[in-house]
Amino acid sequence: MTAISTAPAQDLVFLSEVFPLLIARPNLAGYEVIPEIDQETGNRLSFHLSQKLEAATVIWHERRLWLLTPSQRPRPTLSQCQAALSITQQDLPDLSDQSLRLQEDNAAIATSTVLSKLAFQILRIRRPFRPILVTAIAGLTVNRKVKFWAETIELQGQARPALALAVQTEIAFAGSLADFYASNPGSPEDVLIGLPVQDFDLGGSGSIVRLVGTLREHRDRLLKLAAGGATRQAIQTAPDDQFVVAIQFGKGKKLFHYPLSALRPSITAETAGQFGFDYGQFLRFTKIPHTERQRLLRTFKAQAMDVLLRYGFEIERSLNSLEHPDLFWQPAVPLDQTPLLFGQGVTGVRGRILHGLSTGGVYNRHPNFHPGIIRIAALKLCDGSVNAFLEAVQQRLRRYGFESEIIDRKALSVADLSAAEARAALEKAVNKLITVPVDIVLTFLPQGDREADGDDGGSLYHLVYSLLLRRNIASQVIYDDTLTGVEHGQILNQVVPGVLAKLGNLPFILAEPLEIADYFIGLDISRSPKVRLAGTLNACASIRLYGKQGEFIRYVLEDALLEGEEIPQRLLERLLPATLEGKTVLIYRDGRFCGQEIPHLLERARAIQARFILVECRKSGIPRLYNLNQRTLVAPLQGLALRLSSREAVLVTTQVSERVGLARPLRLTVHEAGEPAPIEQVVETTLKLTLLHHGALKAPRLPMPIYGADRVAGLRLQGIYPSSLLEGDRQFWL
Amino acid sequence: MGKIWLPFASYNLWSLFAPAVGQERWHCDMKRGYAKVRKRESDIAAILAEDTVPQAIGLFAQQGVYEFHADPQRLKDRDGVAQVSQILKLDQESDEVRDRLSRILTLYYENPVLLKKRIFSLSRGDEGFPEPIKLYLGNTAFNLFAAIDCILLEPDGTLHILDLKTGHSDFDERQAFVYLLAASYLFPRQRAIASFYNLELCKWSEPVTATASQLNAIRIELARLAQRHEMEKKQYRRNPAEFDRIFPPNPGFQCQHCPFNRVCQFAAQEISA
């Protein structure tokens, strides 16, 4: 990266939530399982064995069970382990008829990954952390909790085990799901199916898929299966007529059975409404001030230390730039000074986009407006006049070199309508409005819609967006409170560049080409269960192509019925055409590469003699970074990065005020199967690609090739837009 | 000297590019591919040559109305419907066509909605392509084809463009807008409205009017469609193997009603439960 290793300064130190672990002489044994078992089975066995073997903790990693015993205790013998395995198998019906045998593997070397996973498993099973109550309102409690996971870190060329500790806020239902169900009478199917829930033992989140029966029928079977203490107790003590439900955790295919009292409703911003709670009233409690965060991290670290020490683990100070200056970077040129290119060769920077557009116009004009005017329709659902604003929009477009015409305008009053009536009236109005085709519809919504359910349920915003997308018409929503409370010029500053981009123009690109590759591609796949075929999925993959200066070229979507999350070979062939022959292409995957994607990509690369740098970009389970200013945590600088290894880094791409929260970094991993690339250069490239969001004056968290990709494919899965939109050159997702 | 060939647009082409509002899920671009770029292939040509029942009924109904007004005495004669049926040679048609036309002609005979109107023009429906109207977008020209069934003169001098319908489909207002755009060029100094009349349901639509801005928007849309259509034709000629990429299929329930389902490899097959 043309980045600088930061010289430690007295007043500015960088910190992370990654804590290296030390373990001098681990009391450790490795076992092979014969015959070989798959990872999912290995993970399940290790979890149950950790319960059965009391003090010892077990993980599954690379075809071995690893067993760590506290330093001062004798290790379980092979026969004790074998006996525990046999008992565990009896409790797991699908494994009970297999003859599994353990074979000690003295030659196996525990890698840092094994050690960090063991530390994680100890904390997961022994649960030393205690949530800290912030407040309780209306049957809900707001707690601060720790989130932790295993990390590895490369220090002086050596991989070291580490642990990430992060603070998060949890809003929890005060009782169990049984309590919730008792106070919400109705048919059990209607009340329970689809509810998002958590189990008390591990806090795993899932949703209820179906009713299994009552405890009277299933108690004995469930008692054999139960691993966690809370679940076991619930099974033992709940009444006979309590329902047993099947839960699907995450994307797993396996269903797990629980009685209602072993679960609790999972309350999040997305799900609170399902339980009849107003999440808005809890929002202010979810913001954790930096000082509190600092105190909590110390507390949780101490709690982790209590249990890990027994196994011989020491937790070091979190990675910081005083001790490891070589691990932290910032771009040599501040991100907001990166030169951008507008029309007519005019250059500018992110903070001066409007000036760039005024002086040079857009970098590239869509053929529709070459010549041609922008056809605008306006739909008003709020009080007050919008004529002056529409006039201002036209003037601003003219300033950037575009003529426009207001084709039609409609007013619709929804104040006295129910939500369903309002949606029906809006649909009718939109359909009428777009009979005469326009390029963009400006919709003025009442501010109450901001609080409406943001997904496919209730918001007028979402309804307008999807109705217009079906017709290949761009959409721009402006809320009433913005219109009345913000000066028109300010609104236009935010809105107009995005409008131009949604219409297929490119307002600006990077002024200097990125060195790492000739093309940049974003890959994503969205899935949704097929309604009529249980266990199968509809999937839609999206690919976007960008040029050497970050210029958007086109996108392609592919529908396919896929098992898992693979991107089909056919799609790769469609989008990775001969134009990429002999080129270097950096491919961002939103999340991890799955299944056969890597072999498919490499095969394609060979076929067209191209070089593919494969980069995974993950958004969750990432340690946060901080600045430390006079011993106090403060928000990290945009562009701050932590090098975890020569192939992996954590990168802060956004600047967030403390009032809003704390920046959530990205994790970038250069996949070893692809072309090698210096992680520093990948970090710098990723940062620069966040600058190219044309729909907002603030740079987004994700680089543009994968920004909003889940939304694009997801909308297709909902049947929201037609097959004619499966390929295109307009960034309608902005 | 021959005419210079130009890209073209029409309501029909527009409907092949984009369905009526609300019908998006049933829209299939591949249908346009068959109808427009593969129409000379023998099996496709054979399908296109088949007058489907609804099309035949629409055409005969239009001709029936024309014949009634060609000699308005037929609307007074007791055997007026029989006379027109004979002119149209309905006895040579299938039972379904004959029965439905008999009902349509009877309904019109009983309620001849155009009788007291000033008819400016009324077409028989089988005159072939109308004269194209040359339109421009910037420096680019294209031909607009608009086959207008009937133009009436309202008492205040307004031109009333009327499209006669049969069947039970909803009126697609876009067709009215295309006619109004055509009228704005053909009769630039006259105010115009457009409406639909369904001969089977005896139902008038609300009259459709258009502002200058709306007509401009329609003109731009048709110009873009004409260009897009030219581009996709060229793409297909260059690489016929790319047919399903240029005209992406949208298989589903709608395949049952698609005339090309027997030649389309993507057509969703009905699975009996």
- Considering only CB atoms, which chain B residues are within 8 Å of A471? 18, 21, 24
A434: nearest CB among B17, B21, B245: B21
What SS3 state is found at B58? Answer: helix
Please tell me the distance from the alpha carbon of residue B196 to that of residue B160, in angstroms, as a whole number. Answer: 10
- CB within 8 Å: A723 and B137: no
CB A86 within 8 A of CB A95: no
Residues 6+ apart with CB under 8 A from B226: B7, B8, B9, B13, B142, B143
A436: nearest CB among B139, B214, B224: B214
Nearest alpha-carbon partner for B151 in B176, B128, B171: B176
Nearest alpha-carbon partner for B184 in B203, B212, B154: B212
> What would the two tokens of residue B224 be?
């873009």
Query: B-contacting residues of A 337-366, CB under 8 Å?
Result: none
Running DSSP on this structure, what letter comes out for residue A439? S
CB A204 within 8 A of CB A262: no
Minimum Cα–Cα distance from B22: chain A residue: A431
pLDDT of res. B5: 83
CB B108 within 8 A of CB B100: no
Q: Which residues pair with A614 in a beta bridge?
A: A587
Strands A243-249 and A340-341: what pairing?
unpaired
Question: What's the half-sphere exposure (Cβ side, CA atoms, 13 Å) at A398?
Answer: 8
Minimum Cα–Cα distance from A720: chain B residue: B25
CB A634 within 8 A of CB A595: no
Nearest alpha-carbon partner for A66 in A21, A31, A15: A31
Chain A interface mutation, best of B17, B23, B218, B220, highest count of A Cβ atoms under 10 Å: B220
Residues 6+ apart with CB under 8 A from B261: B255, B267
At A532, the pLDDT band (50, 70, 90 cuts) reads very low
Residue type, A714: G
- CB within 8 Å: A724 and B216: no
At A697, the pLDDT band (50, 70, 90 cuts) reads low
Please tell me the distance from the alpha carbon of residue A663 to that of residue A253, in angstroms, as a whole number. Answer: 33
Greater model confidence, A476 or A271: A476
Interface A-B, measured as beta-carbon pairs within 8 A, has a size of 68
| Rg of chain A in Å (alpha carbons) | 28
CA distance B17 to chain A (A): 9
pLDDT of res. A662: 80
Running DSSP on this structure, what letter comes out for residue A528? E
At A720, the pLDDT band (50, 70, 90 cuts) reads low
Q: Does B11 touch chain A (CB under 8 A)?
A: no
CB A429 within 8 A of CB A407: no
Nearest alpha-carbon partner for B133 in B74, B196, B215: B215
pLDDT of res. A291: 87
Average pLDDT, stretch B154-179? Answer: 93
> What would the two tokens of residue A167 be?
């603070």
pLDDT of res. A420: 80
CB B132 within 8 A of CB B144: yes
> What would the two tokens of residue A607 be?
């076929």
Q: What distances in angstroms separate CA B239 from CA A574, B28, B225, B242, B243, one per listed residue?
A: 14, 20, 21, 6, 8
Q: Evaluate if residue B1 carries a pLDDT over 60.
A: no
Please tell me the distance from the alpha carbon of residue A602 to that of residue B182, in angstroms, as a whole number. Answer: 55
At A2, the pLDDT band (50, 70, 90 cuts) reads very low
pLDDT of res. A529: 53
Chain B interface mutation, best of A406, A573, A723, highest count of B Cβ atoms under 10 Å: A723
Q: Evaluate if residue A534 carries a pLDDT over 50.
A: no
Nearest alpha-carbon partner for A174 in A132, A138, A130: A138
Query: B-contacting residues of A 321-340, CB under 8 Å?
Result: none
Please tell me the distance from the alpha carbon of residue A148 to that of residue A132, in angstroms, as a whole number. Answer: 16
Give residue-wise pLDDT tens across range A76-98.
999 999 999 998 888 777 787 88
Q: What is the DSSP string of B165-216?
A: E-SSPPP-HHHHHHHHHHHHHHSTTS-EEEEEEETTTTEEPPPB---HHHHH
Exposure letters A132-155 (e unless 16+ CB within 10 A, then b): bebeeeeebbbbbbbbbbbbbbbb
Greater model confidence, A577 or B104: B104
* A219-223, A369-373, B62-66: range with highest mean pLDDT: B62-66
- Considering only CB atoms, which chain B residues are within 8 Å of A435? 21, 173-174, 177
Residue with tokens 């993970």, as numbered in its chain: A43
The alpha carbon dihedral of B79, B85, B86, B87 has a sign of positive
Q: Evaluate if residue A53 carries a pLDDT over 60.
A: yes
Q: Does A436 touch chain B (CB under 8 A)?
A: yes
Tell me if the bond preceding A331 is cis, omega within 30° of 0.
no
Question: Residues for chain A: how many in total?
Answer: 734
What SS3 state is found at A516? Answer: coil
Nearest alpha-carbon partner for B33 in B205, B237, B218: B237
- CB within 8 Å: B214 and A373: no
At A634, the pLDDT band (50, 70, 90 cuts) reads confident
Average predicted confidence (pLDDT) for chain A:
86
Average pLDDT, stretch B74-90? Answer: 94
A663: how many CB neighbours lie within 10 A of its CB? Answer: 22
Nearest alpha-carbon partner for A480 in A382, A551, A571: A382
Please tell me the distance from the alpha carbon of residue A340 to that of residue A347, in angstroms, as a whole number. Answer: 5
pLDDT of res. B123: 94
- CB within 8 Å: B248 and A408: no
Residues B152, B154, B160, B166, Cα dihedral to 10°: -60
pLDDT of res. A1: 38
Average pLDDT, stretch A37-47? Answer: 90
Residues A420, A424, A425, A431, Cα dihedral to 10°: 160
* pLDDT cut 70: percent of chain A above it: 89
Please tell me the distance from the alpha carbon of residue B28 to that of residue B58, in angstroms, as a whole number. Answer: 23
A384: how many CB neighbours lie within 10 A of its CB? Answer: 12
Lowest-confidence segment of A78-87, A480-489, A533-542, A601-610 by average pLDDT: A533-542
| Rg of chain B in Å (alpha carbons) | 20
Residues 6+ apart with CB under 8 A from A632: A290, A291, A294
What SS3 state is found at B124? Answer: coil
Average pLDDT, stretch A186-200? Answer: 84
Say whether pTM exceeds 0.95: no
Minimum Cα–Cα distance from A467: chain B residue: B22
- CB within 8 Å: A724 and B248: yes
Average pLDDT, stretch A674-684? Answer: 95
Tell me if the bond preceding B54 is cis, omega within 30° of 0.
no
- CB within 8 Å: A435 and B174: yes
CB B151 within 8 A of CB B159: yes
Instruction: Report CA A437 to chain centroid distance, whole Å.
Output: 36
Lowest-confidence segment of A307-316, A470-479, A558-567, B210-219 by average pLDDT: A558-567
Q: Evaluate if residue A700 carries a pLDDT over 90.
A: no
**HEC-encoded secondary structure of A580-607:** HCCCEEEEEEEECCCCCHHHHHHHHHHH
- Considering only CB atoms, which chain A residues are within 8 Å of B217? 375, 405, 407, 436-438
Question: What's the half-sphere exposure (Cβ side, CA atoms, 13 Å) at A87?
Answer: 15
Residues 6+ apart with CB under 8 A from B172: B11, B15, B20
Q: Does A717 touch chain B (CB under 8 A)?
A: no
CB A722 within 8 A of CB B250: yes
Average pLDDT, stretch B47-66? Answer: 90
B24: nearest CB among A406, A436, A470: A470
Average pLDDT, stretch A345-364? Answer: 92
Give residue-wise pLDDT tens across range A92-133.
777 878 889 999 888 788 999 999 999 999 999 888 998 888
